[in-house]
Amino acid sequence: MNKKTVRDIDVRGKRVLVRVDFNVPLDAERNITDDRRIVAALPTIKYLIEQGAKVILMSHLGRPKHDDTGKADAESVKKYNLDPVAKRLSELIGKPVKKLDDCIGEEVKKAVEAMSDGDVVLLENVRFYKAEEKNDPEFARQLASLGEVYVNDAFGTAHRAHASTEGVAHILPGVAGFLMEKELDYLGKALENPDRPFVAVLGGVKVSDKIKVIDNLLNKVDALLIGGAMTYTFLKAQGYSVGNSMVDVDGLALANQALQKAKERGVELMLPIDTVAVELPADFDIPSGVPADVNIQIVPSTAIPDGYRGLDIGPETVKQYGEKIKSARTVVWNGPMGVFEDPRFAKGTLGIAQAMAECQGTTIVGGGDSAAAVEQLGYADKIDHVSTGGGASLEFLEGKELPGVAILQDK
């Protein structure tokens, strides 16, 4: 990676302002139901403590609402304060974490001035100020005044130019934390200098949402395997009838362009040979639950019967894609192969996860639902890198430079 990291600077005795992504899920009693985002930031936090830095952490949590003054309303403060996060972090690092009631202002300044080397404080939710997402320079200046150096370890928000992810780095020298470094190393190597064969697996819903990812990957990969709902847009674009399957009308022309580009570049673009088709109306709302007694058939993808909808890739496709994946030296996967939330339509996604686990090459999963799927199916530990940033990893795969990364110091 060409960006400086915490290893490249001297932090001893310094006030280090660290942007982390502690946007964890909470239940109704505000218990943290999944602390992986906190755990993912521990290497950087522990390193800074060991180096004798004064560690000032900042994060967002949820989507607070603001009143006319641009501050979070009372209900949002109750719902989205970082108290439970400070408690959990303190348990994980085995030392006190002082949670402050604000992220800027005189009280915060005083608390920071009172810190000793190796102390950890957690500022209150930066999104309690509307100015955060506006990347307001004055707000950024107030945050920056708390530290002497800035560390960004929040890969998951690096695609947003906010005050705490981008603005502060105009004022303080900024470097990457270890999580940020790991994300950029894995994703960056795959896109810039992959071991070949390089295979990408793309699923999920809409071709039009992912067209930039498809387009960028077609410049890089040896094979592109398509699954998920976008399959049917590709099939329809080639003139096949897809029954009641979901078709992204805006994506039809884009699908044809992608097929054309693949041909020109000699990329093997594969579509599922078989499909798990379910008798359902085209407007049936899948998230509300597919009925238990529904008719299910495994059919060739080019012969989906009228009245049926494709909800997963079939077993022949799993076999074929699995072989491709296992013989690859780099695999990037984004987007579930089917409606994995329902066990009846999770076999395609499970089969791809298994092949990824068996692949000897470097395996990477990016995308919010894709990461959730491999976690849920129990394969996260068997994949080299499961990205912690849903939207950020997609923008990275599109070939975009992330603003929170671009602003960090070059090596």
Pairing label, strands 120-122, 98-99: parallel
**What DSSP state is assigned to residue 194?**
-
Catalytic site includes residue 266:
no
Closer residue to Mg ion (CB): 368 or 399:
368
The active-site residue out of 3, 37, 182, 324 is 37
Residue carrying structure tokens 């005189």: 106
**Nearest residue to 218 via CA among 208, 228, 226:** 226
Binding marks (x or -) toward ligand ADP, 68..107, rule CB under 6 A?
Answer: ----------------------------------------
Q: Does 63 qualify as catalytic in the annotation? A: no
The position carrying tokens 């000897």 is 360
| Half-sphere exposure (Cβ direction) of 368: Cα atoms closer than 13 Å | 7
Nearest to 346 by CA among 236, 227, 190: 227
Q: How many residues bind ligand ADP (CB under 6 A)?
A: 20
- Edge-to-edge strands of the sheet including 296-300? 296-300, 274-279, 308-313
Q: Is 391 in the site for ligand ADP (CB under 6 A)?
A: no
How many Cβ atoms from other residues are within 10 Å of residue 30's Cβ? 13
Report the site for Mg ion in 359-378 (rule: CB under 5 A): 368-369
Q: Does 246 bind ligand ADP (CB under 6 A)?
A: yes
* DSSP code for 172: S
341 in contact with ligand ADP (CB under 6 A):
yes
DSSP 301: G
The rounded distance, in Å, linking the Cα atoms of 247 and 230 is 7
Active site residue 174: no
Q: Which of 368, 382, 399, 400 is catalytic?
A: 368
Q: Taking a C-beta distance cutoff of 8 angstroms, is the pair 366, 204 a contact?
A: no
Nearer to Mg ion, 76 or 349 (CB): 349
Is residue 289 part of the annotated active site? The answer reads no
Q: Closest approach of Cβ 17 to ligand ADP, in Å?
A: 30
CB 386 within 8 A of CB 187: no
d(C-alpha 406, C-alpha 167), whole Å = 12
By C-alpha distance, which of 361, 345, 354, 347 is closest to 316?
Answer: 347
Neighbours of 298 (CB within 10 A): 12
Considering the complex, what minimum distance in angstroms separates the CB of residue 229 from ligand ADP? 4
137 binds, among Mg ion, ligand ADP, none (CB under 5 to 8 A by kind): none
**Which positions from 201 to 230 touch ligand ADP by CB under 6 A, shown as an x/- string?**
--xxx----------------------xx-
C-beta closer to ligand ADP: residue 46 or 284: 284
Q: Which is nearer to ligand ADP, 150 or 396 (CB)?
A: 396
The catalytic residue among 15, 182, 206, 210 is 206
- Residue 272 found at the interface with ligand ADP (CB under 6 A): no
Q: What's the closest the beta carbon of residue 52 comes to Mg ion, in angstroms? A: 41
Binding-site member from 338, 351, 389, 404 for ligand ADP (CB under 6 A): 338
Interaction between residue 147 and ligand ADP (CB under 6 A): no
Among 351, 390, 403, 404, the residue binding ligand ADP under the rule CB under 6 A is 390
- Residue 341 binding target from ligand ADP, Mg ion, none, CB below 5 to 8 Å by type: ligand ADP
Report in angstroms the alpha-carbon separations of 112 from 54, 117, 139, 175.
8, 11, 17, 21
Return the sign of the alpha-carbon dihedral for residues 389, 390, 391, 396.
positive
Least Cβ distance, residue 66 to ligand ADP (angstroms): 28
Report the residue number, 243 or 366, with the smaller CB distance to Mg ion.
366
SS3 content of the chain, % helix, strand, coil (to 5): 45, 15, 40
Q: Of 70, 118, 188, 391, which residue is the catalytic one?
A: 391
Residues that bind Mg ion (CB under 5 A): 368-369
Q: What residues act catalytically?
A: 37, 206, 368, 391
Residues that bind ligand ADP (CB under 6 A): 203-205, 228-229, 246, 286, 310-311, 334-336, 338-339, 341, 367-370, 390
